[in-house]
Amino acid sequence: MILNERNCRNEQVINAAKQMMIAARTAPKGKGVDLLETAIVTGDEIRILSETMLEIQKENGFKFFLRDADNILNAECVMLIGTREKEQGLNCAHCGFSTCASRPEGVPCTLNSIDVGIAIGSACATAADLRLDTRVMFSAGLAAQRLNWLEGCKMVIAIPISASSKNPFFDRKPKEQINGK
């Protein structure tokens, strides 16, 4: 049998993304409380994610959403990492409020946010070990959050993943328009 890399690349990238999800899951968590959710987006859902990013760009005017919406279409898959929100009861004031009880609803517990960051680092380290092309994208994460793809998560970050001869997520030019629109 001859197995050409071009014929199995997508399957291998998906398998690598699954390893990235495990790395995120096993990353250290504040107080040992695991509030993380992860998922992998593939196929037509990547286009839905891109279209949602375009909708958000129309609302917020941030041009990098145009570039990123076009950019994720080059991904084999997109990994999502998010956290449900839960105060950790430390009264650490790291969120800007003196106690957990004084923190207004909608202001995330800093430990939840830090947990997402550590999980992203673990996932991206795994991707680097496997020589995958990635980029951490708040824009695509916000679109996934709007789509509620990680149900109940208050913060979602996306990592598009590719295996190509040149990382499509770097050396990117700003987009004024996508596909002449």
Q: pTM of this prediction?
A: 0.90
Sign of CA dihedral 135, 138, 141, 147: negative
Q: State the residue for tokens 């991904």.
A: 75
**Residues across the chain:** 181
pLDDT in tens, the chain (181 residues): 998 888 889 999 999 999 999 999 999 998 999 999 999 999 999 999 999 999 999 999 999 999 999 999 999 999 999 999 888 889 999 999 999 999 998 888 999 999 999 999 999 999 999 999 999 999 999 999 999 999 999 899 999 999 988 888 887 666 665 444 4
Fold entry, domain 8-162: NADH Oxidase (3.40.109)
DSSP string, 82-136: EEE----S----TTSSSSTTTSPTTSPPHHHHHHHHHHHHHHHHHHHHTT-EE--
